[in-house]
Chains A and B, each alone.
Chain A
Amino acid sequence: MIKLNKKAGAAEAIFWTIEILFVLIPSLFIVRSVVDSSIEVSLPDGRLENYILISRIFYSKNSIFYMDSYTGRQDLHTIDINKFNESTLKQLFAKDNIKIGLRLSLNTGTINKEIFFNKPFYEGVIVRYEKSDIYDAIHQNILVTVMHDDKHIEKGILKLSAVFEVK
């Protein structure tokens, strides 16, 4: 019907193939991601999850707090100095590549100790979280007592800083 020479015909075909590829396929991806993100937005945000995870530090029996071996009960305000280390935190949050960073610093008359979980992430985020909607942070100062090996108890303060990626 339309007479075009061979060269022009090939050029036209390439042109339309490229146009279709560049319009159709990206359009589908865009719609898919729009639908996905609208589903994400309508689900609860990650802040609830962050608070649940922080609770693990305060309430889990595998956390840093002292547990009476006889009653099996945990004293939620007494830190067991033997459990106050990074290995405890690593076991408590046993997953690689998680977007959580923690800094716990304990100060008493005789102890001044700081432990981290996922330190590179923590340090990377803490400086810029306030300027971003992607990250969230929780800071708490708690009065505690510290149980030493010889069952000697000392008063102190625990400072907790936690940073998260908001999903």
Chain B
Amino acid sequence: MFKLFSSKKAMAGTELTLTTIISIVVSLTVLIMLIVFVNNVQGTTIYERRFLSMDVALFIDALYAAQGNIEVIYPKDTLWFSYNFAPGRVEVSYPQDILSLKEEGYTFIPDSNMQIDEIKISPVYNDKKLLEKKAQFKFLKLPDKIKVKEGNIIEGTLLKTLDCPELESAESIQGKTSYVPPIVDRPPFEEERFKKTVKESFVAVISYKGSHPDQNTNDIVAYISDKKNIKESKRVACLILNKIISDEKLNSIIQQKSLTPITGISIALTDSFEILNQGNKYIALLLKIGNKNIEKEKNILEDEEANHAVMEAISRGKEEYD
């Protein structure tokens, strides 16, 4: 053996063998490293995070294109990841993925007229580092911004207050007779006493319980005459509706008692209610409130406190007329 290494002829052959051996060792090292690397990649969450960052970014791009106000919960499974909404970019990270701590991200193209919240939403892990609650978020697209909020509950927060018409010259209603009875099942349209009271009032706001087959509908509609004092009636209706939907007391009652929130407000001109055209009265409106078909426990019409708050809001809206 040693003779072999000491002979010049043999050495030439040995060098060749050494080169081959070292090449094989290097190649094997490379191969093992690659196999280990690919195996590790397979065990990481790069693919999932890249997919989700892309999906959320496209979701935001679609929201920018969509019309109207929107409240939408992000519908996909958010897995175990944290979501960082940075300017023009969504980054998805998973701190427990030790091989790739780098956040996977995808860009969206902002609309400068519509700011989007910068926020990080993370899942909840318990003390044993086990996933307790996945990250959940929703988007609220408003006229001038997109809000990103944690959670998965639609709050009906998109109701926009109406732009109430200003009157150039209007007679004050302060000190004038007004008739604002509590909410009834149906106004007693046929009763002479009722007709007389409405006729003699300067302002009449008659509220009654609405009805809709869909239990998710909980609207308030203000009916006004399409013949008499349209602008004045419209202004009172608008002020009242705005007061109702922005009333903090009513909203907190709805939230605390998990009542169905108000889902829409509108003003409708009509000729269907003769009571609105009676006499020389100045302003009259019929307020159709809520939905009788919503189950009792969730219905604002069945809750005394909520009823009271609505009546207070009506009263404050009316007072704001002047």
Q: Which residues of A contact B (CB under 8 A)?
A: 1-3, 16, 19-20, 23-24, 27-28, 31-32, 35, 39-40, 42-44, 48-49, 52-53, 55-56, 58-62, 70, 72, 74, 90-95, 98, 100
Contacts and interface: CB of A to CB of B under 8 A. Distances in A.
12 contacts: A3-B5, A19-B23, A27-B30, A28-B34, A43-B54, A49-B61, A52-B65, A56-B111, A58-B65, A59-B65, A92-B112, A93-B111
B67 A94 contact: no
B18 interface: yes
A27 B51 CA distance: 26
B50 A52 contact: no
A60 B271 CA distance: 36
B26 interface: yes
B58 to A, nearest CB: 6
A74 B22 CA distance: 73
B111 A59 contact: no
B170 interface: no
A42 B48 CA distance: 11
A58 B111 CA distance: 14
Contacts of A52: 58, 61-62, 65
Given A95-B88, A95-B109, A28 B37 contact: yes
Contacts of A2: 5, 14, 18
Contacts of B114: 62
Contacts, number: 89
Given A2-B18, A43-B51, A44-B54, A62 B111 contact: yes
B41 interface: yes
B64 interface: yes
A59 B29 contact: no
A35 B252 CA distance: 52
Contacts of A49: 58, 61
Given A35-B38, A59-B65, A20 B26 contact: yes
Contacts of A72: 143
A95 B116 CA distance: 14
A43 B109 CA distance: 19
A62 B41 CA distance: 43
Interface string B28-72: 011001100110010000110011001000100110111100000
Contact of A24 (B26, B38, B61): B26
Contact of B47 (A28, A39, A48): A39
Contacts of A20: 26
A24 B111 contact: no
B107 interface: yes
A1 B64 CA distance: 73
A49 B41 CA distance: 27
A90 B38 CA distance: 43
B64 A23 contact: no
Contacts of B38: 31, 35
Nearest to B87: A95
Nearest to B88: A95
B20 to A, nearest CB: 13
B182 to A, nearest CB: 33
Contact of A62 (B14, B37, B113): B113
B64 A56 contact: yes
A91 B33 contact: no
Nearest to A32: B37
